[in-house]
Amino acid sequence: MIREEEAVLLRALTERGIRFHAIAAVDRNWGIGRDGRLLARIPGDLKYFREATMGRMLIMGRKTLESLPGGRPLQGRKTIVLTRRRDFAAAGAVAVHSIRELVCETERACAAAEDGMAAGGDQSARGADTRNTVFVAGGATVYATLLPYVDVCLITKIDRIFDADAFFPNLDAADGFSLARAGDPIEEDGLVYRFTEYRRGDGRGR
């Protein structure tokens, strides 16, 4: 749960054109993890995550950062990590200690990307989208906190039930989101999964 003043800051950020997208792999019960780890490592899904997020900004909780290989941020993506631990540091990631700091750092990073564009960067519509879209990359606590400000969720649905202890909010039951796209089932390493996209509103999105 966040305080009303923090909600106001997050709403103001989205009103200034910064968009939050969430990305997650879920099982049939919207489970995402167990004992601090992913439920399954699916090469095709890891590739999808890499392609969707490369060159973008990621927001994640400290536990998710520590679950990454070597506890290090992913290459090619600016990573903002939420933690209340003032002494927490991870090379290559920016630690923020509150939603207020998260909003400031997100705005600062988007402004820096805009400055880079003015200095000769990608001026296409996709370039602008890249600079203003921030991916919420988990885990359960961070998804739950930021979902009200997210407008697109890229959800990989794994057709199995795992013994999960961390969950993504069930978008089929939540108000506000609808399924906008569902890919064909893919089979890999004995697991069947599909890429889906949920959008806030009636599914047609912006």
Ligand X SMILES: NC(=O)c1ccc[n+]([C@@H]2O[C@H](COP(=O)([O-])OP(=O)(O)OC[C@H]3O[C@@H](n4cnc5c(N)ncnc54)[C@H](OP(=O)(O)O)[C@@H]3O)[C@@H](O)[C@H]2O)c1
Closest separation between CB of residue 94 and ligand X, Å? Answer: 13
CB closer to ligand X out of 18 and 99: 99
Q: Report d(CA 184, CA 194) in Å as an integer.
A: 6
138 φ/ψ sector (left φ>0, alpha ψ -120 to 50, else beta): left
The secondary structure of 59-76 as a DSSP string is EEEHHHHHHSGGG-PPTT
Closest separation between CB of residue 144 and ligand X, Å? Answer: 8
Residues of the shown chain interacting with ligand X in the complex, contacts defined by CB under 6 A: 24-25, 32-33, 36-38, 60-64, 67, 82-85, 88, 97-99, 137-142, 145, 166
CB closer to ligand X out of 61 and 169: 61
Which sign does the torsion angle of CA 151, 4, 65, 121 carry?
Answer: positive
Q: Report d(CA 149, CA 17) in Å as an integer.
A: 12
Closest separation between CB of residue 67 and ligand X, Å? Answer: 5
How far, rounded to the nearest angstrom, does the alpha carbon of residue 58 sit from its chain's CA centroid?
6
CB closer to ligand X out of 94 and 113: 94
CB closer to ligand X out of 33 and 169: 33
The secondary structure of 112-177 as a DSSP string is HHHHHHHTT---SHHHHHHHHEEEE---HHHHHHHGGGEEEEEEEEESS----SEE---TTTSTTE
CB closer to ligand X out of 103 and 140: 140
Q: Report d(CA 57, CA 3) in Å as an integer.
A: 24
Structure tokens at 28: 């049939």
CB closer to ligand X out of 131 and 135: 135
Contact 185, 194 (CB under 8 A): yes
